[in-house]
């Protein structure tokens, strides 16, 4: 019996409810607002969060919630859901079909369940602590590709990259020279799910928020991969700097980030 199955099943239901709604509204006329210079929020982000949080709290009314679009009162529960209702909002708002809902669960501060749902491909990535990672029910494992020069990596850039020198540009150049290729697809949660699935060999990014990574970090770990901070030390989801990989190229990625660091302090 999977200890966290009860929670996983409700997270799957919540992600599918939100994902179906996202697909239905995709490419329709949307109410879009700016949160910052570049950072958008749409009515679909807000409604997706309402649907996900509504479902989870109807099942687990005492649990805590951390989510992107609202601040929730802290209840002091052992359980905390960490939710990105739409990861890939820029894509969504521009009609670029690459986005997902991401839901992670912490128990006593430790990730124990994660769901990432891509409604366009109908791909459901799930993981529970100690029980493995799955894509539509089929067990996942990270790739066996190495060294770095043979690999495909994912990354992204912070919304304030025009004004803050911590912009990922130096690292991007360093990896573009040393890996086979880099994809900047615009949804960090899916990047992590793709590392878990062996479709990407590694991923790094800075200034990510807990909701961008909670579910994806568990997926990568449960698929046999490695997740650390940029300096190789243990990762927690409140640290914005993440390196996730198949493990085989992890040291090379950490070394490359250190090399590039002087340009990005």
Q: Which residues bind Ca ion (CB under 5 A)?
A: 68, 84, 86-87, 89, 212
Q: Min. distance of Cβ 41 from ligand IPD in angstroms?
A: 8
> Which residues, including other chains, have CB under 8 Å from residue 124's CB and lie 6 or more apart?
12, 15, 16, 115, 116, 117, 118, 135, 136
Q: Min. distance of Cβ 155 from ligand IPD in angstroms?
A: 8
Please answer whether residues 189 and 86 qualify as being in contact, where contact means their C-beta atoms are separated by less than 8 angstroms. Answer: no
89 or 245: whose CB is closer to ligand IPD? 89
With CB cut-offs between 5 and 8 Å by kind, which of Ca ion, ligand IPD, none does residue 186 bind?
ligand IPD
10 or 84: whose CB is closer to Ca ion? 84
Q: Min. distance of Cβ 20 from ligand IPD in angstroms?
A: 19
Question: Phi and psi for 51 in degrees, rounded to 5?
Answer: -65, -45
Binding site for ligand IPD (CB under 6 A): 84, 87-90, 156-158, 186-188, 205, 208, 212
88 or 247: whose CB is closer to ligand IPD? 88
Q: Min. distance of Cβ 265 from Ca ion in angstroms?
A: 24
70 or 150: whose CB is closer to Ca ion? 70
Distance CA 38, CA 121 (A): 27
19 or 156: whose CB is closer to ligand IPD? 156
With CB cut-offs between 5 and 8 Å by kind, which of ligand IPD, Ca ion, none does residue 158 bind?
ligand IPD
Q: Min. distance of Cβ 162 from Ca ion in angstroms?
A: 19
């Amino acid at each position: 019996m999977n200890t966290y199955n009860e929670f996983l099943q409700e997270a799957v239901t919540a992600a599918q409810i939100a994902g179906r709604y996202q697909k239905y509204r995709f490419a329709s006329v949307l109410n879009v607002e700016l949160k910052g210079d570049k950072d958008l929020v749409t009515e679909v982000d807000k409604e997706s969060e309402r649907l996900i949080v509504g479902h989870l709290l109807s099942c687990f009314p005492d649990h805590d919630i951390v989510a992107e679009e609202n601040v929730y009162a802290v209840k002091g529960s052992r359980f905390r859901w960490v939710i990105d209702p739409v990861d890939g909002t820029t894509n969504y708002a521009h009609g670029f079909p690459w986005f997902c809902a991401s839901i992670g669960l912490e128990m006593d501060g430790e990730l124990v369940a994660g769901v990432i749902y891509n409604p366009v491909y109908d791909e459901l990535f799930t993981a529970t602590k100690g029980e493995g990672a799955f894509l539509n029910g089929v067990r996942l494992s990270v790739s066996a590709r190495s060294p770095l020069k043979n690999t495909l990596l994912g990354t992204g850039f912070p919304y304030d990259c025009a004004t803050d020198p911590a912009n990922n540009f130096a690292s991007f150049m360093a990896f573009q020279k040393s890996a086979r290729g880099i994809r900047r697809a615009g949804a960090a949660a899916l990047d992590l799910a793709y590392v878990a699935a062996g479709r990407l060999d590694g991923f790094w990014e800075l200034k990510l928020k807990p909701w961008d990574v909670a579910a994806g970090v568990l997926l990568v770990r449960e698929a046999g991969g490695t997740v650390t901070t940029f300096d190789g030390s243990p990762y927690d989801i409140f640290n914005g700097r993440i390196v996730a990989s198949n493990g085989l190229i992890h040291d090379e990625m950490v070394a490359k980030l250190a090399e590039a660091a002087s340009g990005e302090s």
